[in-house]
Structures are given as C-alpha cells and as structure tokens.
Structure 1
Amino acid sequence: MREAQSATLDSAGVSIGGSLGMLASLAVFVGLFVIANTFGTLVRQRTRRLALLSAIGATPRQIRRLIRLEALALGLVASVGGVLLGYPVAGLLTDLFAKDGFDISVADMNVGWIALTGPSAAGILVTQLAAWRAARRASRIAPLEALRTASTDAVGRRWPRILGALAVFACAGLFVGGVFGIRSEEPPGVERTAGVTVMTLMGAMTAVAGLAVLAPFFVGPLGGLVGRIGTAFSGEAGRLARATITRSPRRVSSAASSLMLGVALASATALIVLSVNARFETTGHQVMVAEHAIATSQKTANGQAPLPADTAAKAATAPGVSRAMALTGTSAELVSPPPRRIDADEAPEPVILDVAGVDPAALPSVLDLGGNLRPLRPGEIGVTSTVMKANKLRKGQRVVVRGTRGKVALTVAGAYHDPSHLFADQAMVSTATMERLDPGAGTRAVLVRGGTRDGIAHAVANVPGARVLDKSGYVETAKKSMTSGVRVIYGFIGMALVLALFGMATTVSMSVSERTREFGLLGAVGATAAQVRSIVRWEAATVVLLGTLLGLGAALGTGVALHFGTGSSFFTPNPPWWLVPTVIAGAAVVTLATSVLPARRASTVPVLEAAKAE
C-alpha cells in the first residue's frame, strides 16, 4: 500500500513539476523580451554618449563590456529581489494547489542553497542573454553618430534581419517536428495530448520571437495609416506623429513587441479555455439524456465524496421518475495484454483504466453514448475507441484487469465513445461486473430520467450531502472537476502578462525620455502641450495596432496548431465574436493608460532642458 501510494504521489509530483517547469520557461521567455527591449531602448537613448566614447578612443570590446557589466549589476540586484519575492509567491501557489486538491502545505519550505542560488543564477544568465544583442549593437555605433541631434534609426540592411527571423522560425519548426514525433510514438491519450500541447506552445513562443524580429518592417505601413488618420483628426500633430513613427521603427516595434506578447498570452489562454468549456458544455448536454442528476456536496482528500449505494433506489421512488441509474467508478490496471514497451531500456508504463459501472438496462434512458455497443453482460467490458486503438484491443478479445480484489478476466464487448469525457471516459462495465472489480466502488452520481427537481429532492432528503441538479447544473459541476488544476496555470499566465505589460510601459516611458531634446525643440518652435501629447498618443495607437494584430495572429495560429497537432475537438480555433473586440479594447486601454504619464511629461519639457539634453 505504501509503495503504491508513493508511486502515485511521485507520478503526480513529476507531472506537476513538468507543468511548473513549462510555465517557468514561459516566464523566462517573457523576461528575455522585457529586458532585451529595455536594453535596446537604453542603447538608442545613449547613442550620442556611446559615439562620443568611441570618438575619444573606446574600443568596441570596451563598450560591449560596459553594457554587459551594467546588465550584470541589474541582474544581481533583480535576482536577489526576485528570490526574496519568490517565497511569498510560492506560498500563494501552494494555496492554489490546495484549492485544486493537491495540498502540499505540510511540506517545509525549501531554503537550501540550490533554491537560493539556482534562480539567482538563472536571472543573471537571462539578463546577460537579453543584453547581448544590445551590447553588440552599441559596439557598432560610429563616432559620427555623436554629431546627430535627432533620435533616428540608422538605415541598415534588411536581409540580416530577415535571415535572423527565418532562423528563429526554423527553430519553431523543430518543435513542430517534435509534435509529429510524439504523435507517431505515443498512443492516443492524455499523455500524448499533453506532450503535443507542450511542444506546440514552445513552438508558438519561438514563433512570437520571430514575429518580434520582423516587427520593424510593419511599422512603416501601419504608421503611415495611423498618421493619415491622425492628420485627419489632429491636423499638424498627426502629420508630425506620422513622421516620428516612420522615422524610428525600432522604437515603435519594441513597445509593440511587448504588447504583442501580452496579447498573444491573453488571447491564446482565453481561446483555449473558451474552446474547452464550450466543448464540455455542448457534448455534456448531448450525452446526458437524463433531466436531473444527484451529486454530493461533500468533499474528501481525494475529491468528491461518494453517494450511498441506495441513493438510486430512493430516487426511483419519486413521482414521475422512469429511470434512476447509479454511476459508479473505480480504477483498474490492464494486465493482459501487457502494456506496450516504448523504450527497450525502460520498463513499460502500466495502463490504468478509469472504469465506470452502469446498469445496462437503464443506460440508454439516461446517456446517449456514441458507437454501437450492445448492452453489457456480466463478465464483459466496453472500452472507448481511443483506448482500444492505443492498446490494440479488438472485439471479443479476452483481457485481464486488476481491481481491488485481484485479477479479473473480461471479454471486450466492443467500442463506444463518450465525446464529453464526463461520464464514462475510458471503460465501462455492468453493475454485476463492478462487484467483481471493486465491491466498494463509490457512486459518483445518480442520473434520473423523469420526475421533478422538488420531488427527487424530497425522495433523497435523508441522504447526507445529496444535491439535485438539472442537466446544466450537473454538466457544469462535472466540467469543473475535469478542469481542476487550472488556477495555478492562470496564476503563472497572469504573472507573465503583468511582466509583458510592465515591459511595454517601461519601453514607452523610455522612448519619451530619449526624445527629450525633440519635444523641447518642438515647444520652442511653437508646438502646444496638447499637440505634443497628441503625437505621443498617435504613436501609442500604432503600438496598439501593430501589437494587437501580431498578438491575435500568434494566438489564432497557436489555436490552429493545437487543433491539428492534438487532433482533439476540445481545441478549436473558433473564437467567439466578442473576443477580438474585447482584446483590442483591452490593449488600447492598457497602451493609452501607460502612455498618459509619458505624454504629459513630454508636453512639459522646458526649452532649456532640451538644449542641454544629450
């Protein structure tokens, strides 16, 4: 018993650790974006200073070392602060785990040297990687750049950027190739779907990086469009905004890249969640023929508490009830045929089936399952088509499963399909066969055909914790039990989203600071404070347009890749009509909100301050 429980907990720990590792890699990816954009803006802001250093004899190596040392100092300070902040965040995640049924609060907090130095070293490494390109670009600034008075991107060759983007997209293609490898090696099931999902998301993140590399190419056309609209509404301020946007595509694309990442994260998460929920809702109502269901509100350490065995009999006495079927459940290991060995050097993973116990006579009245499975007889088992294909079973085959009372030989009666995955997800046996597998199998729910909610509730009034739900209520309850564990994922996605938005706000603020001289000179030649604020707002509109278009494209592409990669109908790239307008409105509000303070600061730059600015 101890060994079995330890193995189960180890497996759950490995699964959760893998999920946390994937989410942590997402946070690292967002951090690379934010820090790379920040250092890129810093280099642009200090172009004249770096050019003057080159003019007085500083070598490219010294300038690269200057940027890297600055990144090292930033990494040290931020990593120490991040570790200190990480422990209260770990406590929050522990609470979220407990709410999802995996309570790890009894374990002591790990404060060993690995837990302290590992994240710190990772933070320093990420900072150095993010600052590498900025340091390389800083070392190439020509001394003549010190004579420039305007912040303008140098005209460079397009082919290196295009080739770099193609290289990034090729890396994304490697993850796509991994998807096909998993599909060819892993049998259909949850593990294959999880593996394909992870590889698809990693490929999507890499593709987002490729889009960020190409973002400056889109600034010109979109900036021209926004500038024409701005000219129509704001006159001269719109024309000036168009000039500043098209003159510095890298500055605009830096802020748009952070917004693109935030939009992609929010849209992809919403698309997946909405698709899964809609599929559960639709298929749950299709499969469940019964008008009511009896579930329990009581919970145990392993989830919902079972109902008493006589609940179905009590429900059948309610007026108008034609059928009341108890839906029991247990887990059984498929012993014969033995599990398929994937690696010759490793032991095969045991095949554990989630077996539902049903009354064959009442089943057609309460559930409409797919396939042509005839009523189950004692000693027979019906399996889903996915399980049959994964384990190479066939109709009429004798199999051996291990239940709580030992090994039981059963005959495969045929295949069926539960598209909702809420009632009989993998296998199904009759009530008599369930007695042989697990005499103490708990009653998960009682499905009732006919009668009224009040009448059924009166019939089971003395059943502890019994709740009578209509079809919609029970489907919603079952759906929540299937999607438990997403709170932690939402927490990580939320933190990554905050990082992306914070990076965008930082980039916008720094881009205004680097143009202190320009805004002051505009004020000197007669531009009003309202016109300067309008220029910053129209530039923010370009950021919204570019970041939203690329982010939505990345999210929809992720949805399409998940749909075709997993082959699951739960991942469908069909967003509801309100999702796109909501994302656009949210991106506009966030961008304009983050540009309010920089715009106000730009409109109040004194002329003397502009004259002495570098």
Structure 2
Amino acid sequence: MGANWVPKDQALDPGSATILPGGRAPHGPHEAVLNKSAAKRADLKVGSQTKVVVSTGDAKPFDVTIVGLVDMAGDTSGYTEMDFDTATAKRLFTDGSHASMVQLGAVKGVSADTLKQRINKEFPGYKVQTGAEVRKENKDAINSFLQIFNYILLAFAAIGLIVGTFIIYNTFSMIVAQRVRELALLRAIGAGRGQVMRSVMLEAIVVGLIGSIIGLAVGTGLAAGLQALLSSTGTGLPSGSLVVGAGPIIACILVGVVVTTVSALAPARRASRVAPVEAMRESQTDGASSLRVRTLIAAVLAVLAVVALAIGGSGKGGGAAGMVGLGAILTIIAVVCGAPALARPVVGALGLVLAKPFGKLGQLARTNAIRNPRRTAATAFALTLGLMLVAIIGTLGASFKATINDAVNSQVRAPIIVSGTSGRGALPPAVSAAIKKVDGVDQVVSIHAVSATVNGKDISGNAPSGDLTRAASITMVEGVAKLPPNGLLVSDKYAKTHHWTVGQTLTFKSKFGQSAQVNVVGIYKSSALMDPWQLGNGAFETLTPPSLRADFVDLVLVKNGADTAAVQQRVEDATGSYLTVKVQTKEQFANSSAQQINQMLVVLYGMLGLALVIAVLGIINTLALSVVERKREIGMLRAVGMLRKQVRRTIYLESVLISIFGALLGMVLGVVIGWCLVRTFREWLTGIQPVVPWGTVLFTLVAAGVCGVLAALWPAIRAARTKPLEAIADL
C-alpha cells in the first residue's frame, strides 16, 4: 500500500503511526518511510535503498531511500505500507484532483456528530463517518474475517472430535469386553447395574479431564508455533502476543470431558447389563441381531442420501450445494450405522486378494479383522471420515484446475501472457508499451479491470485494448464480436440476469464522477475467462483517469514466422526492470494458476492431517487393546509353533485390511459427494465439470496400507513378545 505521510502535528490521531527513533519524515520523490514489520521481512533499515514499482499510471520503477521506520497501530505480519511526502504521493497514487479519504477535525465546542451532520448537508452523496464509526467499522471488518477463520478452524476441530469420539468408544468397548469377568463378579456379590454403570462413567470423566488438561497444554504450544509460522509467512494476521483466555480453557476442558463421557456411555450401559453368569465366559460378543436394526436404519438413510445427492448434483447454485451438503450428512450417518454390516463382506473380499499370498497367516489376519465387525467399523470410520474429506477437496481441486487449463488452452489464442508475479497484481501501462517495441511482437491486447455504476448498481468487468478477437476465442450468440471504443460485449448469462439486450444503450458512471454512454453490440457464450462483460477501450479511458489505469494481464501476439521462445525471452528482457512482471506461455500461465490452487489445497490437507493422525492413533490403540484381549489365543499359537515374525506379520496384515477398508470407503464416498458438489458450481464458474483425482485416490489407498503397517508396529512387537506359558496360564 502507498500513501502520503502525515506529520505528527497534523495528524488527527498522533498515536496511530510514529516514526521510530533514528528516522525522519520523507522529503522529495526519492525518500519514503516504511512500516517496521515490512522492513523486517525485507531486511531494510534506515538508510537502505530499494526499488519501487507502481502498478498504475506511467511511473517507471525508481529508487527510494528509507529514511524512517514507522510503528503503526494496525501493523500486522503481512502488511506493507510505504509513505511518501504529500506531493509525491499525490503524483503516484491519485489523478491529481481526487482523494480516497479526507480526515477532518472539529473546532473546540463542536461535537463529531454535529460536524458530521453539517458535512452531510453541504456535501450530499458522500460517505461521512465520525472517528468512532470508522473505528467500529474497521473492528467489525477484522472481526468478520477472524470469525470466518474461526469457523474454519472449528470445523476441522469438529472433525477431530468426531474421529476422537469413535476412538474413545472403541477403547471403552474393548476395556469393558476385557473386564467382563470382573464386572460379572461385582454383580454376583451384589453390585447393582447403576453402580457398575456409574463406575465406568466416572472412569470416563477422569480420563476426559486428564486428557483435556494435556490437550490444552499441547494445543497452546501448537497455537504459539502456528502463530510464529503465520507471522513469518506474512499472512496479514495480527502479530501480537498469544492470548489464552478463560473461555477457551473452560471450553477445552468441558468439551473434552463431555465428548469422553458421551463416547463411553454405550460401553457403560453394556457393562451394566453384564449378568453374573458371564463370569464363566471369556468376553462378550456382538450378536448378529444387534446389527439388524442399525443396518436397516443405514439402508433407509443411504436411500435418502442418494436422492439428496442426485437432486443437488443435477442443479446448480447455493440451493443445490445445500442439498449436496444434506446428502453428505446423511451419508456419514448411514456409514456410522451400516459400516459394521459392510465390514465382513468388504474386509473379507480384501482379505481374499491381499492376504492370500501370505497363506495361513493371511487367512488368520482376515479372520481376526472380521471377527468383530462393530469394532472393525468403528476403527476404520475414523480413517473413512478424514479421507472422505480429502477426496471431496481433491475432487474440487482437480475440477478447478482442469477448468482453468481447458479455459486457457481453448479460449486464449495469444502464445505469450504477461501478468503480475503474484498472479493478481496489476501491471503499469508502461509494460505493454515496452512489449510493443520488442522485435517479433505483432500486437499486445491489454486487459484492464474496470468498475462502474449502472442503474444504481455497482458492477465490475474487463476492458480490453486492441483486437480481442485475435487474442481470445469468443463464441457469439447475438450481435458482432468486434468491440468499438464505446461498445460493450456481455456474456449470455450476465445479459439474462441484468436484462441487457443488443442495441441497448447503458450509462456507465465512475466513482470520480465521469460517465460514458455504452452500446451493447454483442452477446457471447459465457466462459470461465470472458465473464462477465468486455467494455470498449474508449469508454474505459473516459471512466478511468490516466494515473489510475493499470493492466490486469497483457496478451502478446507473435508475428508470423517468429520464434515464440525467442520472442518470449526478448519480452522478458524488455520488462526486466519492472520487478512485478511474469512472462509465460499460455501453458505456463495455466500451470501457474493451477499451482495457486495447489497451495490452497496443501493448507486444507495439512489441517485434515490432524484428523488422519488421530485416526492412525486410533488404529494403534485398537490393535494394542486387541492384542491384550487375545493374549491367550496368541500364546496358544506361539505354543504350537508360530514364530514371532509370523505373529508380527499377522498383526500387520490385520491392520492393513482395516486401514484399506476405511480408506476405500472414504475415497468412494468422498469422490461421489465431491462430484455432485462440483456440478453445483456451474452457477458461478462456467464450464466447470467434475474430474476424479485418480492420482490422489491411488496414492491414498497405497498410503493407507503403509499407515496400516506403521500403526501395527508397536502392537505387533508387543504381540510377538507374548510368552506362551504365561499366556496359557493366565486364566
């Protein structure tokens, strides 16, 4: 951001920005002050020289000397503000007669509200606010952004809690199963069902409390590390000290205890129903009848989910996306209820394929994996949920990237594209002027971003300079494609929404007071790159002052017979002094745009990684408890000659089968939901079609198998160390 430096004696709020000791205010066109966080990132100090590029107007890159570092109240980790003296700032950032904001101070005895009323009366149509209103507006804007950020974090936290719930449920189920004889003996000597249930619930509360305290400590440490990481990468988030209030502490402990208690409720009820006669048995088993009701419920929910996904996937827009979301929720609930019924056939089929090469060991692993379908499903579901979200995000990302690639390759005819290095930065008009002088360049079509008001509504679109039909492919629906200086081409979707027709004359007004009469000369087929409308260059110049004109992108056409690679190199040399310029072929431009999507996906995958880590820990936990439960069985196998490495291999195979079952279920459901969700985006992104991320699917399935082996390492080693005689004697 660039602005003018306001001396302290003229500032309405002198404490908002202060030049640190050792610096001074800027004077002349080659001096500037810089906020301290930006100076720290760029390794600049008082006396340092740097180059400045202004994206608007005809100003060329120029050198400035940093004469002061500024401590700003709103300084954040990614914020950059360079201030010049008033004359320089006026030349660089304004049209010479307009300002973006004017600050006024009231004379003694006149309140801010009174002054506001007087200004509104004298200058109607302008936005006039008191200082308190401005501060509240800025605070609300920041809080709104942070609120969205909080919602995202809470969503991923909820995913982690759901995954953790199933792990806790699995753990207490196995603990209760292993203590059947103990609980039955308690019942035999007079303990009531309520007492047994309360003992298990009390145990859950204690575990939840201890886990919450540990989680709070670990979470605080992770928050401090995350804050340091975000500050170092320049995200724009506040870089103040870490604040841990009473609210988060109470919420952490309360949520941890409640989740643990709720997760242990079903196992506790099962424990309270243990009859004294059960003391004669080893453990409880899941009866087939217990799965019938939940399987029936799962079937009904699955049908409803399919209907919701079908309706949502056939539509477009927010309503359709909401229907897909409903279908996703129904799908998750259906999986929770029906996964045990799927576990036996699916894991059994996987076992026939994956475990068969291992002979009897594979057969034993397959039997162990499907022995308790309820436990297998609960263990796998933690992985299913996380990978289902990975598949949804992967499908969205692959579809967006494919749409961009298709749009650039099919709609852009120019072989060379010049854009800002950040992918969204503007280019000064001097860049296109320099490109036009390059040997081998036939024509440069510059695309400008333009905003205006039409019929009282603010709209935004593009304004090309040059023959757009040579640089881009336009499919006309009505009218002509050639764009006159005061003409307008509009997409069919936008024209239908705003009731614009060929031959209609519209009045475009700018925020600077200029207006232009624009004629609609053609309507073209909506496309991802050409939406929503294209304004003639003459109207653009009327609406936009010269000092504020900038190019969004420059499309470079090459002369017949010229070597594109050589021309590209010459264009790079000609624009080298403009530090924010990136020269690419259209294939490179498409890949660069896709890379930005990849960066966003990495962040989402990273946050989902926490849920996957919890899921893997759940597999480790379940297998470890399963080894304890099967101690006598493993001892018998060791007694009849099974080697330690064979025991370990059996546990590995069992873990791999459970992991791949969860991953396969999650990937299939995630791709289906993602496919339907992508189709709803046709309302906002023309030409988007669902694309299955086959690479992600295959990689995930292989990774699930690897995670299964890693998760089984400790339980397998523990099982292999089982001493046969001790295990057999442990009655």
TM-score (norm 2): 0.70
d(CA) in 1 for partners of 2:273, 2:701: 38
1:433, distance to aligned residue in structure 2 (A): 2.1
Which of 581, 603, 606 is the equivalent residue of 2:720? 603
Does residue 1:40 correspond to 2:173, yes or no?
yes
Does residue 1:583 correspond to 2:690, yes or no?
no
- Is the contact between residue 152 and residue 247 of structure 1 (CA under 8 Å) also seen in structure 2? no
Q: Which residue does the alignment assign to 2:117?
A: none
1:86, distance to aligned residue in structure 2 (A): 2.8
- Is the contact between residue 419 and residue 553 of structure 2 (CA under 8 Å) also seen in structure 1? yes
Q: Which residue does the alignment assign to 1:357?
A: 463
- Is the contact between residue 330 and residue 441 of structure 1 (CA under 8 Å) also seen in structure 2? no
d(CA) in 2 for partners of 1:523, 1:100: 55
Q: How does 1:42-121 map to 2 (within 5 A)?
A: 42-91=175-224, 93-94=226-227, 102-106=235-239, 109-121=242-254
Q: Which residue does the alignment assign to 1:523?
A: 638
- Is the contact between residue 36 and residue 134 of structure 1 (CA under 8 Å) also seen in structure 2? yes
1:284, distance to aligned residue in structure 2 (A): 1.8
Q: Which amino acid aligns with 1:446?
A: D
d(CA) in 2 for partners of 1:105, 1:58: 57
Question: Match of 1:159, SS?
Answer: helix
Which of 433, 443, 452 is the equivalent residue of 2:551? 443
Q: Which residue does the alignment assign to 1:431?
A: 537
Identify if the C-alpha distance between structure 1 residues 528 and 414 changes in structure 2 by more than 3 Å, giving closer, same or farther: same
- Is the contact between residue 486 and residue 537 of structure 2 (CA under 8 Å) also seen in structure 1? no
Identify if the C-alpha distance between structure 1 residues 405 and 57 changes in structure 2 by more than 3 Å, giving closer, same or farther: farther
d(CA) in 2 for partners of 1:598, 1:408: 75
TM-superposition CA deviations, 1:92-151 (whole Å, max 9, x none):
555676688741134554432223323332333332332233323333333333222267
1:481, distance to aligned residue in structure 2 (A): 5.2
Identify if the C-alpha distance between structure 1 residues 118 and 542 changes in structure 2 by more than 3 Å, giving closer, same or farther: same
Q: Which amino acid aligns with 1:244?
A: N
Q: How does 1:312-327 map to 2 (within 5 A)?
A: 312-327=432-447
Q: Which of structures 1 and 2 has the larger relative contact order (alpha carbons within 8 angstroms, sep 6+)?
A: 1
Q: Which is higher, the Rg of structure 1 or of structure 2?
A: 2
Q: Which residue does the alignment assign to 2:17?
A: none
1:605, distance to aligned residue in structure 2 (A): 0.9
TM-superposition CA deviations, 1:3-52 (whole Å, max 9, x none):
88777656544544444443333333333333333333333333333333
More helix by share: 1
Q: Which residue does the alignment assign to 1:137?
A: 270
Does residue 1:557 correspond to 2:672, yes or no?
yes
Q: Which residue does the alignment assign to 2:118?
A: none
Q: How does 1:352-501 map to 2 (within 5 A)?
A: 353-359=459-465, 361-372=466-477, 374-391=481-498, 393-396=500-503, 403-406=510-513, 408=515, 410-416=518-524, 419-421=527-529, 424-439=530-545, 440-450=548-558, 452-480=567-595, 485-501=600-616
TM-score (norm 1): 0.82
Gaps spanning 5+ residues in structure 1: where?
339-351
Q: Which amino acid aligns with 1:60?
A: R
Does residue 1:250 correspond to 2:374, yes or no?
yes
TM-superposition CA deviations, 1:285-304 (whole Å, max 9, x none):
2222111122333x6xxx85
d(CA) in 2 for partners of 1:87, 1:211: 34
Q: Which amino acid aligns with 1:356?
A: N
1:173, distance to aligned residue in structure 2 (A): 7.7
Does residue 1:505 correspond to 2:620, yes or no?
yes
- Is the contact between residue 508 and residue 595 of structure 1 (CA under 8 Å) also seen in structure 2? yes
- Is the contact between residue 467 and residue 482 of structure 2 (CA under 8 Å) also seen in structure 1? no
Identity %: 27
d(CA) in 2 for partners of 1:527, 1:180: 53
Identify if the C-alpha distance between structure 1 residues 131 and 254 changes in structure 2 by more than 3 Å, giving closer, same or farther: same
Identify if the C-alpha distance between structure 1 residues 383 and 487 changes in structure 2 by more than 3 Å, giving closer, same or farther: farther
Q: Which residue does the alignment assign to 1:345?
A: none
Question: Match of 2:429, SS?
Answer: coil
Question: Match of 1:575, SS?
Answer: coil
Question: Match of 1:428, SS?
Answer: strand
Identify if the C-alpha distance between structure 1 residues 462 and 265 changes in structure 2 by more than 3 Å, giving closer, same or farther: closer
Q: Which residue does the alignment assign to 1:336?
A: 455
1:358, distance to aligned residue in structure 2 (A): 0.8
Question: Match of 1:555, SS?
Answer: helix
Q: How does 1:141-290 map to 2 (within 5 A)?
A: 141-149=274-282, 152-166=285-299, 169=302, 188=317, 192=318, 200=324, 203-204=327-328, 206-225=330-349, 233-290=357-414
1:255, distance to aligned residue in structure 2 (A): 2.5
Identify if the C-alpha distance between structure 1 residues 30 and 368 changes in structure 2 by more than 3 Å, giving closer, same or farther: farther
TM-superposition CA deviations, 1:218-269 (whole Å, max 9, x none):
3333454456568854444444444434432223323322332343233333
Q: Which amino acid aligns with 1:432?
A: G
Q: Which residue does the alignment assign to 2:19?
A: none
Identify if the C-alpha distance between structure 1 residues 173 and 393 changes in structure 2 by more than 3 Å, giving closer, same or farther: farther
d(CA) in 2 for partners of 1:5, 1:411: 39
d(CA) in 2 for partners of 1:385, 1:57: 80
Gaps spanning 5+ residues in structure 2: where?
1-100, 102-133, 559-563
Question: After alignment, is 165-174 or 51-60 more displaced?
Answer: 165-174
d(CA) in 1 for partners of 2:666, 2:287: 27
Q: Which amino acid aligns with 1:306?
A: A
TM-superposition CA deviations, 1:413-468 (whole Å, max 9, x none):
554456444xx443332222223443314222211011511222233344344332
- Is the contact between residue 490 and residue 534 of structure 2 (CA under 8 Å) also seen in structure 1? yes
1:362, distance to aligned residue in structure 2 (A): 2.0
Identify if the C-alpha distance between structure 1 residues 482 and 157 changes in structure 2 by more than 3 Å, giving closer, same or farther: closer
Question: Match of 1:293, SS?
Answer: strand
- Is the contact between residue 469 and residue 481 of structure 2 (CA under 8 Å) also seen in structure 1? no
Question: After alignment, is 81-90 or 170-179 more displaced?
Answer: 170-179
TM-superposition CA deviations, 1:302-355 (whole Å, max 9, x none):
x854322122122111112111122222444x55365xxxxxxxxxxxxx5442
1:273, distance to aligned residue in structure 2 (A): 2.0
TM-superposition CA deviations, 1:375-433 (whole Å, max 9, x none):
33444444444444455555555656664324746555554456444xx4433322222
Identify if the C-alpha distance between structure 1 residues 159 and 111 changes in structure 2 by more than 3 Å, giving closer, same or farther: same
CA-based RMSD of the aligned residues comes to 3.7
Q: How many residues align?
A: 584
- Is the contact between residue 328 and residue 443 of structure 1 (CA under 8 Å) also seen in structure 2? yes
Which of 295, 301, 313 is the equivalent residue of 2:419? 295
Question: Match of 2:591, SS?
Answer: helix
Q: Which amino acid aligns with 2:618?
A: G
Identify if the C-alpha distance between structure 1 residues 269 and 354 changes in structure 2 by more than 3 Å, giving closer, same or farther: same
- Is the contact between residue 229 and residue 238 of structure 1 (CA under 8 Å) also seen in structure 2? no
